């Protein structure tokens, strides 16, 4: 079994004995897991249509892959694209949060990103709207998960 350095680092952090006491800086969330149907189609959408970077794509444990994508620039949380392995996981593809917006993609250039994403075939569920917190529009990924594209005010 081949493990990537990122996978080993996360595993070693997870396997530390409880309780984990932190003094000083609060830890950050490094990865969020998104259950997908197939690795390559998911990479095609997140890298091709959304413009994310492919951070890692490593084979391990037979046909499993450790696939990590992130918005360009490496700010914030990355996504681990995990292929559904059971029927229960397959049932959650596209509906991991029961129809709620589950991911929030921040931008400093709303109009340009909105236009680029639409040109790449991303489906927006609404027109951009202006709220007290910024400009926002809900879009769906290739599986139907809902995302907010947001440019915060201030």
Where exactly are the structural domains of the chain? 1-93, 99-154
For 81-101, what is each residue's pLDDT tens digit?
Answer: 999 999 999 999 999 899 899
CATH 3.40.50.1970 fits 1-93, yes or no: no
Contacts 24+ apart (CB under 8 A), 109-113: 109/151, 110/134, 110/135, 110/149, 110/150, 110/151, 113/51, 113/149
CA distances from 131 to 126, 135, 152 (A): 14, 6, 9
Class of the CATH-defined domain 99-154: alpha beta
Band of pLDDT at residue 1, cut at 50, 70 and 90? very low
> Model-level pTM?
0.81
Per-residue model confidence as pLDDT tens digits over 5-36:
555 555 455 445 555 555 667 678 899 999 99
């Amino acid at each position: 079994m081949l493990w990537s350095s990122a996978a080993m680092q996360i595993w070693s952090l997870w396997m530390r004995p409880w309780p984990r006491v932190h003094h000083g800086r609060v830890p950050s969330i490094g990865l969020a897991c998104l259950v997908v149907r197939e690795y390559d189609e998911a990479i095609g959408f997140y890298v091709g249509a959304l413009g994310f970077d492919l951070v890692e794509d490593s084979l391990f444990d037979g046909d499993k892959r450790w696939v990590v994508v992130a918005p360009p620039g490496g700010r914030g949380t990355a996504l681990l694209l995990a292929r559904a392995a059971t029927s229960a996981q397959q049932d959650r593809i596209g509906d991991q949060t029961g129809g709620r917006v589950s991911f929030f993609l921040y931008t400093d250039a709303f109009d340009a990103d909105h236009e680029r994403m639409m040109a790449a075939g991303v489906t927006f569920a609404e027109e951009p709207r202006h709220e007290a917190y910024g400009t926002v529009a809900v879009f769906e990924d290739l599986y139907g998960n809902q995302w907010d594209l947001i440019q915060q005010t201030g």
